[in-house]
Structure 1
Amino acid sequence: MDVDAPPGFGAPGDPNPPPPSPGSANPNPLEPAAPIGLGASLPPLSPKQGGKDPSIVWQHFIKLAGSDPQNPRSQCKYYKNQYKCYGKKNGTSGMLQHMKVCKKWPFPRDDKQKTLSFQAKREGESGSNVLVVANYSEERIRLALARMIIIDELPFKFVERQGFQEFMKIVEPRFPIPHRTTIARACMKIYSSEVDILRRAFVGQRVCVTTDTWTSIQNLNYMVVTAHFIDGDWTYQKKILNFCPIANHKGDTIGRAVESCLLKWGIDRLFTITADNASSNDVAIDYVKKKTKERDSSILGGEFMHMRCCAHILNLIVQSGLKSIHESIAKVRNAVRYVRASPARFEKFQECVENEKIKAKCLLSLDVPTRWNSTYLMLDCALKFVRAFDRLEEEDGHYKLYFCELDGNGKKPIGPPNYLDWENVKTFVKFLGIFYEATLRFSGSLFVTSNTYFHELISIEDQLQQLCSVDGDPLLKSMAVEMKKKYDKYWGSVDNINLMLFVAIVLDPRYKLKYVKFWFREWYGKDKGDAMSSKVRDALKRLYVERVGQNGASSSSGSGASLSRDSMLSVGNASLSDRIKSYNNKFKQHLADEDSVESKSELDRYLLESSEDPDVEDFDILMWWKMNSSRYRVLSQIARDVLAIPVSTVASESAFSTGGRVLDSFRSSLSPNTVEALICTQNWLKDAKKKRPIKLRECMDNVEDMDGFEIDTGKYMFILFVVYINYLVICSMLTNHFILNGIVEIASVCPMPMEEDPSTVVLDDDE
């Protein structure tokens, strides 16, 4: 085993003796007349024909003469230790280890010697490089390696791969490459230490939770629990607490698993649980509500604990309107399917794009019909190539014939799209774009989302009302009517919505209660609107009263009572005139206090004070509350609780990036405890600055120009397949299902030049 020379053992610039020149010879091989440091620049050795270069150990060991040729031995030049050195059996590992601990090593070495180096800035950081002091530490390197394994989702056997080992020989030859079991233990050590840190963070912390369940293709049930909270520095935190197999998707089973997770982490103040609309989740949350109420660990008795996933409701609303698909959408889909069916057709289409001088970065993509968001993206992208499709119809005779041929069902595909169809598609794109953007905002997991719900509700309500009342395309109107029915079922009444979503907009200093009251009056009239806004204010007031009671006393009245008693004691021995004068002063102060808003509670003062400008760009609501927490000591604590509420369970799903990446061929071979440790620790260790919301539009726009690829047909279609799979994968984050029929459809057309089948476990949602 060849090992390169590490720095610090006779390397250039070190105080080690220089190596002997190539022509010098040592008459006594056991006497280190001209020693060679382990890190020195070695003299050139005459290479053996067809063999490897001699290991560096032979600069410090000699082969003993007279030893058995079948079992040769070597001896250290300095400490006289002997080692077996038969290449096929023993190698040089033992001698290398001895060189590190040799007591008579003649060259100075000090692993504690510190070095200065400039640490490069991370992406997105400002300022100059930082000067850091570092020293060699085997333990620190091992833990850093384990962190890399966790964060980058690498298998444990990565440390045994040739490329990594050769890399480490150059970077730090002194570091002994650990075995994969050693690195696995290091990963579990990091998990344990991070658990302790996070458990301490939960002490006295109110927490909101999202939970979701899946069924794998191996019929294994899994559940994930994610905690959401705003820490003491007013930073939004999302931490995966649990990823474990469960027996089934029954409500009691899920409820017990959630309760077990909360007890394990010592979370005794649970605010909300966000889940989708499955009936089993209703049972599960009722179970958790009952248990937390018994332990007095819920807020307001768990009245507002159940938070229904807004992204899931939005998906149900849109799907209800797309059941009877519009003919224009079907025509565009067939046109896109024709273009994407073969490389020759795609190349012809690209020629039409060039001839029409269309400058669009997006890649024409086929949708998954059961995913409305993919349909929106397909239509939005196709609109950029309308002129190219028209030219294709003029120049490609096969394009017209495609719509005259019978498909597998004996029917002709409808199409191609005409001018009226493209106009209809423009209307659809504008219509679906509202829901698409709302879904993306609901699905945010790195920022506050609870205060955005009310705005999305207003926008969706307004658009549906317009489409239902405007006479035009009867099919478009019927779609809007169906969607309005579903909308009214879930969001048509305040009684069907968790009031904390309205409290969140009240706690937004740009809007407050006046904004909610205004829109309630617009929707329901003055009397009903005022009654609804009173419900919202009452819910906020009850939160305030409960928090004041937990803090011991109101911040606005306690100090005043104490001063009054002190004043009474101070005037006890004063003269009559002085006492009367003192009483008059107190009466004047009483009148001033009575007319001042300072006498009111924090809640009243907050609602009476003027709002911030709602048109301010990049308004940071958490920073505002952080800066004003000294003025609103109690209300700011309530804001930390309410603003931390996630309105969607997508935060749980997005932690896995894709359904198939959670349990790939590596992780599916691990024990459930190890899988949970890796997934949770990766979520905790990833730098929050590196986490970015997934922007599907950018992912599609940044695909490289296919014209620059000079590859054969098989590889060309394989790249298209990979791009399409990535598209489906990202779309899968917006809802719970990873639709396989889209993959099967494109895979039947695209040959994949793969050497082996990377078996993965694809997780599907259980409805």
Structure 2
Amino acid sequence: MARQKGRDRMKDRSEVWEHFLKKETPLVLRAICKYCRMEYKYNPKKNGTSVLWGHINRCRKYPYNTPKDSKQSILSFRGAKIGDGTSNLTYQKYDPASIRKALSFMVIVDELPFKFVEGVGFRQICNVMEPRFHVPSRITVAKDCYQTYLIEKRKLKNVLKHCNSRVSLTTDSWTSIQQINYMCLTVHFIDNNWKLQKRILNFCLISSHKGEEIGKEVEKCLLDWELEKVFCITVDNASSNDTAIGYLRRKNNHWKSRFLKGRYLHMRCVAHIINLVVSDGLKTMNESVNRVRHAVRFIKQSPARLLRFKKCVSEEKINTKRLLCLDVPTRWNSTYLMLSAVIDLKGAFERFSEFLQAFYDLTLRVSGSLCVTSNLFFDELVNVALLLKELESSEDFEMCVIASKMKEKYDKYWGDVEKMNMLIFIAVVLDPRYKLDYVEWMITQIYRVDVASTLITNLREALNAMYEEYRGFSSSDVLKEEAGIIK
């Protein structure tokens, strides 16, 4: 009777079958070790290959295993420190679990694709370094990476739970080339050792950029991390973020550790405001900037043109090592770098570039992520206001028009004192180098007398309210709860 045709049997993908033979019996399949002839029951629908790998790691007749127990220590020079008075020779145990942990760490830190571990070259070098270790598949490595994430998440959650300080959040959302919406939420806090920490809490998909959706996603993340001691949330100036903060402020009213009833929860991104201010000013000089941009692009598009340009620089005896750089039109500070490079090669834009220098310095100071910046940018912020005030009365008509447009955008965010977040001033007041008198004096330099008086009054009220808020934490029970002692 002819054998009925059917679907071909799937090829075994696991490398463990290089060490085992399959034996079919009427009741069950069996896997037989090629070295010691040990038999194991095997059912591809119920059992994996973990038992078989475990046998290979301890099989005494497997040629790459040590004659004794595989957990026996072996001599090694790894971990030795030269010049510290200790012996250079040490010992090390074969631990496949530690190797898998290190492998997942490598994939995460070096941002490698999971399929990297299935590459022929990588498997070859692993076989040379440690023949007893069997490189896992990309699916296993992905699971190991996820387990690493869960472990690190538990550690960070414990740190945040026992942290004595409040936390600040920053969030942003964008759309990828594939038209997929993403959102990132980052936490900033001072740990119990007085060190600034920055951690990404969530990087996730969102259905849309609507404020309500963003607010719900942030709330969901905060509930997952059990975070209630939120000081403020920094966002850019999109209208949807106003809606998102409004949603979170309503939810914040139900949190036990809310700060001043969410009065200063909304912090507008200073770097984004500076970008909007300068972008409005650049529109006046848009034609000139475009000419520079097109000239730089024309030169850099061809290696021959770039080489000829360098030759011209040499012939003109221009003493500079700077090269032309093309800007990104949506990022004004890259436009500054482009114009600044052009100045060394042609002096036509010198005055305009010096004008942008103050905004560039301010952007650098407020964009730092390795140190606290809230108390650093106040001087530059005042300098920018004074510069705009001075240029508005300039005899240069073009600069006067530019300054007027930029001042209009500046006043939109920092001109209405009733809408300003007092925390940008309080951070400077708490800096012992400046204190309250200095801040009040600087406010009088950049605002009209009536506006300055109102702003100073609001600042003093905010300071008193903050003091009363923290004075309520003076009882021992509350202090212990803030420190995470009471569970």
Counterpart contact for 1:118–1:129, Cα < 8 Å? no
Counterpart contact for 2:362–2:381, Cα < 8 Å? no
Counterpart contact for 2:210–2:240, Cα < 8 Å? yes
Which residue does 1:490 correspond to in 2?
Answer: 413
Counterpart contact for 1:548–1:554, Cα < 8 Å? no
2: distance between equivalents of 1:358 and 1:523?
41
Classify the secondary structure of the residue corresponding to 1:452: coil
Deviation at residue 253 of structure 1 after TM alignment: 1.3
Counterpart contact for 1:225–1:240, Cα < 8 Å? yes
2: distance between equivalents of 1:194 and 1:309?
29
Which residue does 2:355 correspond to in 1?
Answer: 431
Which residue does 1:243 correspond to in 2?
Answer: 203
Cα 1:175–1:477 shift into 2, 3 Å: same
Cα 1:450–1:361 shift into 2, 3 Å: same
Please state if 1:183 is matched with 2:141: yes
Which residue does 2:440 correspond to in 1?
Answer: 517
Counterpart contact for 2:114–2:142, Cα < 8 Å? yes
Cα 1:133–1:199 shift into 2, 3 Å: farther
For 1:632-711, list aligned pairs within 5 A.
none
2: distance between equivalents of 1:436 and 1:481?
19
Deviations 1:415-446 (A, max 9, x none): xxxxxxx34x1111111122122222222222
For 1:457-472, list aligned pairs within 5 A.
457-472=381-396
Which residue does 1:447 correspond to in 2?
Answer: 371
Classify the secondary structure of the residue corresponding to 2:199: strand
Deviation at residue 269 of structure 1 after TM alignment: 1.4
Counterpart contact for 1:453–1:501, Cα < 8 Å? no
With structure 1 as the length reference, what TM-score do the two structures score?
0.52
**Which letter maps to 2:388?**
L
2:265 to 289, 295, 305: 305
2: distance between equivalents of 1:268 and 1:95?
49
2:58 to 94, 101, 107: 101
**Which letter maps to 1:291?**
K
For 1:66-215, list aligned pairs within 5 A.
76=35, 79=36, 100-103=57-60, 107-108=67-68, 110-113=70-73, 117=77, 134-203=92-161, 205=163, 206-215=166-175
2:340 to 380, 404, 429: 380
Counterpart contact for 2:385–2:446, Cα < 8 Å? no
Counterpart contact for 1:513–1:533, Cα < 8 Å? no
Classify the secondary structure of the residue corresponding to 1:273: strand
Cα 1:324–1:528 shift into 2, 3 Å: closer
Classify the secondary structure of the residue corresponding to 1:233: coil
Deviation at residue 384 of structure 1 after TM alignment: 2.1
Which residue does 2:45 correspond to in 1?
Answer: none
Please state if 1:352 is matched with 2:312: yes
Cα 1:215–1:334 shift into 2, 3 Å: closer
Classify the secondary structure of the residue corresponding to 1:450: coil
Deviation at residue 259 of structure 1 after TM alignment: 0.9
* Count of residue pairs the alignment pairs up: 435
Cα 1:434–1:129 shift into 2, 3 Å: farther
2: distance between equivalents of 1:128 and 1:455?
53
Considering only aligned residues, what root-mean-square deviation do their CA atoms show, in Å?
3.5
**Which letter maps to 2:137?**
H
Deviations 1:684-737 (A, max 9, x none): xxxxxxxxxxxxxxxxxxxxxxxxxxxxxxxxxxxxxxxxxxxxxxxxxxxxxx
Which residue does 2:284 correspond to in 1?
Answer: 324
Deviation at residue 537 of structure 1 after TM alignment: 3.2
Cα 1:130–1:534 shift into 2, 3 Å: farther
**Which letter maps to 2:408?**
K
Deviation at residue 102 of structure 1 after TM alignment: 2.7
With structure 2 as the length reference, what TM-score do the two structures score?
0.80
Counterpart contact for 1:367–1:378, Cα < 8 Å? yes
2:256 to 279, 282, 296: 296
Please state if 1:218 is matched with 2:142: no
Deviations 1:39-81 (A, max 9, x none): xxxxxxxxxxxxxxxxxxxxx9xxxxxxxxxxxx9964xx566
Classify the secondary structure of the residue corresponding to 1:202: helix
2: distance between equivalents of 1:554 and 1:475?
63
Bigger Rg, structure 1 or 2? 1
Cα 1:151–1:528 shift into 2, 3 Å: same
2: distance between equivalents of 1:385 and 1:545?
58
Classify the secondary structure of the residue corresponding to 1:483: helix
Counterpart contact for 2:58–2:70, Cα < 8 Å? no
Deviation at residue 225 of structure 1 after TM alignment: 1.2
1: distance between equivalents of 2:424 and 2:85?
43
Classify the secondary structure of the residue corresponding to 2:444: helix
Cα 1:371–1:198 shift into 2, 3 Å: closer
Deviation at residue 528 of structure 1 after TM alignment: 5.8
Structure 1 stretches lacking a partner, 5+ long: 1-59, 61-72, 84-93, 122-126, 387-421, 556-632, 638-767
Deviations 1:287-341 (A, max 9, x none): 1111111233320100000001111111111111111225543443343233224
1: distance between equivalents of 2:403 and 2:34?
88
Cα 1:135–1:346 shift into 2, 3 Å: same
Deviation at residue 82 of structure 1 after TM alignment: 9.6
Cα 1:200–1:187 shift into 2, 3 Å: same
2: distance between equivalents of 1:379 and 1:314?
18
1:505 to 428, 435, 441: 428
Which residue does 2:22 correspond to in 1?
Answer: none
**Which letter maps to 1:520?**
I
Deviation at residue 112 of structure 1 after TM alignment: 4.5
1: distance between equivalents of 2:86 and 2:171?
41
2: distance between equivalents of 1:528 and 1:110?
78
Counterpart contact for 2:117–2:136, Cα < 8 Å? yes
Greater RCO (CA < 8 Å, at least 6 residues apart): 1
